[in-house]
């Protein structure tokens, strides 16, 4: 059977594959990232995420603030997964080289969070940061965010 006789995937199939790649990548990255953050920094991390939206009063706690922090965290990881997928439609190497591109993307995610998202948040979190913290953040996000997103795209996107 030659390649000319292989049917092109339908728009519905492409959409299903895209959504699956984004869902698996976002869910896996989000789960690994929140778990590592809670293990390293404490189980109140979702409250800090909520405080980024609502301000310091969210740090007082409560189940609503905790759940909102988790929802915001997963919204962010799904958004990063969707951006990677959308970029891969034009930058084909993103799908072809998931190891290198995933590691680079994870580092880029960390930089976007540290240099744009956190300073613009209600907490206005800015440096100075210790070199150890910067390196740790880059390495962690390269592995737990970048790689799951890039490999889910490689596995599920068509």
For residue 7, the model assigns a pLDDT of 66
51's enclosing H/E stretch is helix 45-54
For residue 20, the model assigns a pLDDT of 96
CB 26 within 8 A of CB 82: yes
For residue 78, the model assigns a pLDDT of 98
For residue 126, the model assigns a pLDDT of 83
Return the SS3 of 42.
coil
**Residue ranges of the chain with pLDDT lower than 50?**
1
For residue 8, the model assigns a pLDDT of 73
CB 105 within 8 A of CB 99: no
Helix intervals (H) in 42-124: 45-54, 63-88, 93-96, 98-112, 118-120
For residue 11, the model assigns a pLDDT of 83
For residue 131, the model assigns a pLDDT of 92
For residue 3, the model assigns a pLDDT of 56
pTM for the model stands at: 0.90
């Amino acid at each position: 059977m030659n390649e000319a006789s292989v049917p092109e995937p339908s728009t519905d199939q492409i959409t299903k594959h895209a959504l699956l790649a984004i869902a698996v990548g976002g869910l896996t990255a989000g789960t690994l990232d929140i778990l590592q953050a809670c293990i390293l920094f404490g189980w109140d991390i979702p409250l800090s995420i909520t405080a980024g939206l609502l301000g310091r009063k969210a740090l007082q706690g409560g189940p609503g603030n905790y759940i909102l922090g988790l929802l915001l965290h997963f919204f962010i990881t799904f958004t990063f997964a969707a951006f990677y997928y959308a970029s891969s439609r034009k930058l084909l190497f993103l799908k072809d080289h998931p190891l290198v591109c995933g590691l680079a993307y994870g580092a880029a995610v960390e930089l976007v969070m540290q240099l744009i998202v956190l300073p613009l948040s209600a907490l206005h979190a800015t440096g100075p940061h210790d070199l150890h913290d910067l390196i740790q953040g880059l390495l962690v996000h390269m592995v737990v965010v970048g790689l799951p997103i890039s490999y889910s795209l490689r596995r599920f996107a068509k």
